[in-house]
Amino acid sequence: MNTFLIPIGIAVAALAASLHHRNAARHAAADQARLRAEQATAVTTLAGVQARIDNTAKNLAEASRELTAARAELRTASEAALQARVEPDPATEGAWPSNRPYFYLPKHILSDIGFAVLTSDGEPTTECLALLGMTPSEQADLRQAWADLRFQLQELQLRSAERIPEANPEADPNRRAVRFRLSSLTNEIPILRDQLQSSLTKSLGSTRAQLLQPDLEERLRELNGPYSDLDLVVTYRAERAAEGDVHHFLQFEAGDSRRTQLFVGTLHAKPEKKGDDGLTFPIGPQSPLWNYRHLFGDQPLFSPP
């Protein structure tokens, strides 16, 4: 064995190990330098974020102080406005002020005005809306409460209605009539009235509901005929005149021999003929037949001329 070669091999191995350690040291130094740079960047970024947080907190505190001050100013202004507000005064506004769109009117006077609550088709009148200051929701409640009452009353009338022949059954080509006997509904009407009043009290309050009550009770009596406390015979009659016009009537007969006849209108033979008494079909809310269409329908007894 060559003893000279052994030291050379050891030297080469030692040199390689030295080179490896030097390379590892250089890589470690580079990694350490990179980490130090990243740490410095992170410290700088954190400082910036902290500065922004501090600035935001400062702005938030300032905004909070401004909001508190604004609320205090608003509260002071509101209190001053309330103190300066002038309530309606009968002494100064009881007349007709020319420079204002309103004048003083005590609420208790509303019960003496006698305003119409509903139109013929069940819509709240402009007077009712203005005097009672009704909201759209309250208008809808009033409209629905009245529609419910009318429906229930018509159902009761239909159940009690009895078709009866004419009092004078002689055939007449120029005359036609339809007759019904209706019950007085003396037990049912108060229930309908109470239901209506309860519904309006719930939606409008007791004071305004009481103000509506007189007119609505009068309308309810009209819906059940002129003799609402008695059994009633209702006759719908049409008579053709010589010139071809057809006159229409409603007749109400009570059990105590009272009788009322109502002229409904004329269906003219010549459509171009106009007048206040003109009658058109199908009938609408303005027709006196409107409240009895569930009995007689909405078509004429004679075909149009």
| pLDDT bucket at 92, cuts 50 / 70 / 90 | low
Q: How many residues does the chain have?
A: 305
Cα gap 144→123, rounded to integer Å: 10
Residue 210: its pLDDT value, please? 93
pLDDT higher than threshold 80 for residue 168: no
The mean pLDDT of the chain is 83
Q: Which residues touch 150 (CB under 8 Å, ≥6 apart)? A: 122, 223
Backbone angles phi, psi at 232, to 5 degrees: -135, 140
Residue 163: its pLDDT value, please? 93
Q: Is pLDDT larger for residue 46 or for residue 163?
A: 163
Residue 195: its pLDDT value, please? 95
pLDDT tens for residues 272-293? Answer: 666 666 788 888 888 888 889 8
Q: What is the DSSP letter of 118?
A: B
Alpha helix (H) residue ranges in 4-135: 5-84, 90-93, 110-113, 126-132
Are the C-beta atoms of 269 and 244 separated by less than 8 Å?
A: yes
pLDDT tens for residues 36-61? Answer: 888 888 788 888 888 888 888 888 88
Integer CA distances (angstroms), 164 to 175, 177, 239, 264, 301, in order: 17, 11, 19, 21, 16
pTM of the model: 0.64
pLDDT higher than threshold 60 for residue 3: no
